[in-house]
Amino acid sequence: MKRKLLLAVTMCATVAALVAGCGDSGKTGGGNSVSKDDKIRRPLPPPEYADKTNPTPDAAEEGKKLFANHCVTCHGPNADGDSPTGKALTPPASNLTDAKLQDAVKDDYLYWHIAEGGKALGYNGMTPFKDTLKEDQIWQVIAYIRSIKK
Ligand code: HEC
């Protein structure tokens, strides 16, 4: 009985070490804050989203239209978070053009956050889009976001 417990504890510690290790070596994770005012912790996406890559990285034009229809209310017309609605939220809607943010996260993180909304990170501000946008539309929006990095 005691042995089993010890084994379980050892396994947990190993898993925790592995997860922490992944967080350090991957682009996302580690709670990367992208500016001094930025309180958002960005963990690695869960397994069902991890390592997804964009099948349509050149679809920025299509993505721009979708962004105008679904995202500007909060992220603003320039995607920089400059909108009264977005600023009123806690935390406020992110500046998606920010090179520091974009360099800190991989596409799998962006997909996860857009599909699940703020609840991916434990926030309420952003609505999930997995029932509003199709998978390829989410990728088009991500292509657009990647094209406006500043
Ligand atoms: C109702 C307001 C609202 C709408 C609409 C909205 N967002 Fe957001 N978004 C937020 C807020 C608030 C945050 C910051 C808090 C959080 O991470 O959930 C955020 C964060 C994000 C992030 C994570 C950025 C980071 O700092 O890690 C991405 C990516 C994102 N939004 C993309 C989109 C896209 C693409 C759309 C349209 C399909 C969209 N959002 C629509 C409010 C919104």
- Read off the CATH number of the domain in which 92 is found: 1.10.760.10
Question: b/e for 103-133, b at 16 or more Cβ within 10 A?
Answer: ebbbbbbbbbbbbbbbebbeeebbeebeeeb
Q: Which atom of ligand 1 is nearest to the CA of 117?
A: 18
- Residue 48 sits in which domain range? 2-147
Tell me, what amino acid is at 108? D
Q: Give the tens place of pLDDT for each residue, 93-131.
A: 999 999 999 999 999 999 999 999 999 999 999 999 999
Report the atom number in ligand 1 closest to the C-alpha of 132: 38
Shortest-distance Cα residue to atom 21 of ligand 1: 94
* Residues 93/83, Cβ–Cβ less than 8 Å: yes
Cβ proximity of 93 and 87 under 8 Å: yes
* Rounded distance between C-alpha atoms, residue 52 and residue 15, angstroms: 22
Comparing C-alpha atoms, which of 121, 141, 144, 143 is closest to residue 129? Answer: 141
The pTM is what? 0.85
Domain count, the chain: 1
**What pLDDT digit, counting tens, does each position of 6-30 carry?**
555 555 454 444 444 443 334 555 4
Ligand 1 within 6 A of 127 CB? yes
Ligand 1 center from residue 8 Cα (angstroms): 38
